[in-house]
Amino acid sequence: MKQKLILLGATSLILAGCATSSDPAAGGFGNAVHGLSSGGYQQRIDDRENNIAAQQSNINNLTARADALRAERQKLELEISRAEQRVSDLGRRTQQIEAELSQHQNDQSAALAELAKVKARLNKIEQTRGKIDPQDKTKPVGDLNDNISEVNRELDELDAVLDALTGG
C-alpha cells in the first residue's frame, strides 16, 4: 500500500514536471496535474469571475444611467406637451383678441400690428417644434432642456404682450 502511494506521488510529480504551460487551456495531462496542484485552475476561475463581476457592475451602471435618461426624456415630453398646449391656448387667445380688436376702432392699427408680431412669433415657435422632439435620441437631454426653456421664455413674453393688449 505504501509502495502504491509512493508510486502515485512520484508519477504525479513526474507528470507535473512535464507541464509546459500554466495555462489549463493548453491541454495535456501534465498541464492538468500542474494546474490543479499549483492553483492555476482556481486562479483562472477567480480571474474570470472577477471579470464577470466587473462587467455586471458596468452593465448595472449603464442600465441605471439609461433609466435616468429615460425618466428625463419623459419629463421633457411632459414639458413639451405643456408648451404645445400653451401654444394652442395662446393661438386661440390671439384669435379671440383679434376678433375683439376688429370691433374696436381705437388704437386698432397699433394693436393689430403688435398682434401680427405675436402671431408671427407663434408661427416661428410652431415651426421649430422639431428642435424639441424628445423621441430624437441623437439630441442630448441638455440641448432639449435648453430648447424647451427657450420656448417657455418666448411663450411667457408672448403672454405678457397679449396681457398688455387686453389690459389684463
7 found inside a domain: yes
Residue 125: C-alpha distances to residues 86, 90, 140, 154 (Å): 11, 12, 20, 8
58 found inside a domain: no
What's the pLDDT tens digit per position in 89-110?
999 999 998 888 777 766 677 8
Residue 30 sits in the same domain as residue 80:
no
Residue 82 sits in the same domain as residue 23:
no
For the chain, how many structural domains are there in total? 2
Spatial CB neighbours of 47, under 8 Å, sequence gap ≥ 6: none
pTM to 2 decimal places:
0.49
57 found inside a domain: no
Q: What is the pLDDT of residue 23?
A: 57
126 found inside a domain: yes
56 found inside a domain: no
Q: Quick one: pLDDT band at residue 137, thresholds 50, 70, 90? A: confident
Instruction: Let me know: does 35 contact 20? Beta carbons within 8 Å.
Output: no
Residue 25 sits in the same domain as residue 75:
no
29 found inside a domain: yes
Spatial CB neighbours of 12, under 8 Å, sequence gap ≥ 6: 33, 37
Residue 85 sits in the same domain as residue 162:
yes
Residue 78 sits in the same domain as residue 154:
yes
Task: Give me the domain span that covers residue 157.
Answer: 70-166
What's the pLDDT tens digit per position in 154-164?
889 989 988 88
43 found inside a domain: no
30 found inside a domain: yes
